[in-house]
Amino acid sequence: MTKQRPTHTDSPNPLLWRGQGEANPLLNPFPGIHKTAPFKSVKIEHYLPAFDAAIEEARKEVQEIIDNPADPDFINTIVALDLAGERLERIKSIFFNLNSAETCDEMQDIAQEIAPKLSDFGNDITLNEQLFARINKVNNRRESLVLNTEEKTLLEKTYRRFVRNGANLNEEDKAKYREITKELSQLGLKYQQNVLAETNAFELLIADNKDLSGLPVSVVELAAQTAKEKNKEGWLFNLQYPSYVPFLKYADNRELREQIFRASSSRANHGNENDNNEIIKRMVELRIEKAHLLGFRTHAAYKLQERMAETPEKVTLFLNDLHQESKPFATREFAEVQEFAEKSGFTGLVQRWDWTYYSEKLKSEKYNFTEEEVKPYFQLEKVIEGVFGLAKRLYGLRLQENKDIEVYHPEVTAYEVFDENNVFVAVLYLDFFPREGKRSGAWMTDYRPQSNVNGNSVRPHISLVTNFSKPTETTPSLLTFYELTTFLHEFGHGLHGMLSQCQFPGTSGTNVYWDFVELPSQIHENWAYEKEWLDTFAVHYQTGGRLPEELIRKIQDAQKFQAAYQMERQLSFAMLDMAYHHRELPVDGDLKAFEMNATASTDLFEPVEGSLQSTAFSHIFSGGYDAGYYSYKWAEVLDADAFSVFQEKGIFDCETADSFRKNILEKGGSEHPMNLYKSFRGQEPTVTALLKRNGLT
């Protein structure tokens, strides 16, 4: 199914009761403020019966559409289908969001059990001939229908979804399609579980404090606290971002840097029960089979039919153009680090576990600046104030914590969001710190999307999840500059969800083309480099002194540091993604050789035995970015071009912010993204602003 029926959870239903008379909170109307998820009441044993009941209920709702004796029209078929299965969608959002943010073995077992059921249910909808006949009949009359732009978009999106999910296949091919999609759903979950297991399995316990040489005090404190939490003596490092990245950046002990790097870069590539090699090969093979069944030459061609880029050839050209611009600069940057390392007494070639270490020292020498200098000015609580203040200044939003809204973990905070007229806009959950039950990275998701069908306004419930540096016994959570930009990035996604003003769940919020969805997130990162915004919150957590102007200039100067190397790194990921997905035959043989061949043009290092990006490349094998990783660079072009308007008119210019809100953030996927972009910008984007920002001109 697609999205949610806004009013359905208010209706009692005979399916809502478990076997012995115990109410299932997932199936009863949600009693909380704004009908938020009843996290505290939900137990593991509630999920399976809730899924079963909600699937049965959704089947009946869809059958009502099929059995409707009235001639199919936009309302009784297209809108009705978009609203069907709301209860199931809410249960799915709760379960799968928690399976990423607060999982356990039991939840992972349930995920494997429910995945094929959901796959079967989805296929039963899109492969239903009677239902597709109604949709097709409405679509064939689309030119004579009186529909607004969003309604036309929903009709086109619905029709295309059915066709792209096998509605036109013969019965034999429909059976094949069912098996393929069912297996893919299970493999994607298993892939993600393997990465999490491998991430949690590694620990680097340091007993001798001489091995802590070079590490900042805050990093050492966090490692001591982590060890204490595990009832171990010494300092414990792991593969979570706040531990792993600073260790590579600052630790003088090269052997330990190599050890932790090899552990991270070889996750799920050890030939054990968590190995992802064969899963990758099988997923690629199944995706090719699925594409061929549906009449596409490759999986990438299938996926890109609904992207701004449109074709694999355009993506390849886009990536190669950026590569040609950045590679000469990146080669010089690599040589500069090699030369600096040699001057520092290093012999031999700089390896991957040396790069961040010597790059940080080079940056410190060139700009007299390190990230550790600015961390004391980025206390998490103050950063939250700054980000919320930015939302107020740009969009008139006010965020207010409400402790009566239930959360799924004690570290999670819930906020009510109001507009400038004190009208309720959204619920926002913030979940900042690493846990063993949380996958790595940072992401935005929703527990309920926005919609407004027939005047029934449903406001969204949005969640932002990160893995930021935790507070210690002596210091609060102090963010790195990268974590600051990550917060702004995810908050930008959140604004896209919260400010949505669409009619239908299927077109609202972040339901947009994937190479457009990163624009609202990435554009907001730009404020991190602006003194006018930093001055609103960045004060030293001990002295209260404002972030010095000299440090702000250093942040700005360092923005272009190794920008070409970073671009090449991102391009290598995108090229690897396209190598897996713009192919007509399965991947045979060694994945290491395949990976090296795919990224050879961007690579600057010697290969590392045992390392394999693919086995932990969750974006493309369990995160939905298959044939879509290029979208980060695509959206960078959009965001640099769009932010140039703010730079020209003022970073807090009300007219520009209002235009971005009304033409981008509020519109969701209600029409083609290029039309939305041109409504804001007045023209199509160019790469000029991005190349200028990165110093590649």
CA-CA distance, 149 to 146, in Å (whole number)? 10
The shares of helix, strand and coil residues in the chain, as percent rounded to the nearest 5, are: 60, 5, 35
Q: Reduced to 3 states, what is the DSSP secondary structure of residue 610?
A: coil
* Residue 78 contacts residue 135 (beta carbons within 8 Å): yes
Q: Reduced to 3 states, what is the DSSP secondary structure of residue 232?
A: coil
Give the relative orientation of helices 673-681 and 631-649 as an angle to the nearest 10 degrees.
20
Long-range contacts made by residues 257-262, C-beta under 8 angstroms, separation at least 24?
A: 257/353, 257/354, 257/357, 258/351, 258/353, 259/204, 260/202, 260/204, 260/353, 261/352, 261/353, 261/608, 262/353, 262/608, 262/610, 262/611
CA-CA distance, 299 to 304, in Å (whole number)? 9
* Residue 468 contacts residue 479 (beta carbons within 8 Å): yes
In the residue annotation, 273 being an active-site residue is answered as no
DSSP 64-91: HHHH--SPP-IIIIIIHHHHTTHHHHHH
Q: What is the bridge-based pairing of β-strands 424-431 and 461-465?
A: parallel
Q: What is the bridge-based pairing of β-strands 424-431 and 413-418?
A: antiparallel
CA-CA distance, 60 to 73, in Å (whole number)? 19
Q: What is the chain's Cα-based Rg?
A: 25
CA-CA distance, 635 to 93, in Å (whole number)? 26
* Residue 612 contacts residue 595 (beta carbons within 8 Å): yes
Question: Which two structure tokens, joined as six digits, stand for 640?
Answer: 């640099």
Question: Which two structure tokens, joined as six digits, stand for 170?
Answer: 């013969």
Among residues 225, 195, 263, 277, the alpha carbon closest in space to that of 441 is found at: 195
* Residue 198 contacts residue 274 (beta carbons within 8 Å): yes
Q: In one letter, which amino acid is 457?
A: S
* Residue 120 contacts residue 182 (beta carbons within 8 Å): yes
* Residue 106 contacts residue 40 (beta carbons within 8 Å): no
Residue 205 DSSP symbol:
E
* Residue 487 contacts residue 479 (beta carbons within 8 Å): yes
Buried b (16+ CB within 10 A) or exposed e, 382-410: bbbebbbebbebbbbbebeeeeebbbbee
* Residue 442 contacts residue 52 (beta carbons within 8 Å): no
Q: What is the bridge-based pairing of β-strands 204-206 and 413-418?
A: unpaired
Residue linked to tokens 């590694």: 202
HSE toward the beta carbon, residue 143, CA cutoff 13 A: 1
Cβ neighbour number for residue 75 with a 10 Å cutoff = 13
Question: Which two structure tokens, joined as six digits, stand for 295?
Answer: 């009449």
Choose, from 221, 333, 360, 490, the residue flagged as catalytic. Answer: 490
The residues assigned a catalytic role are: 490
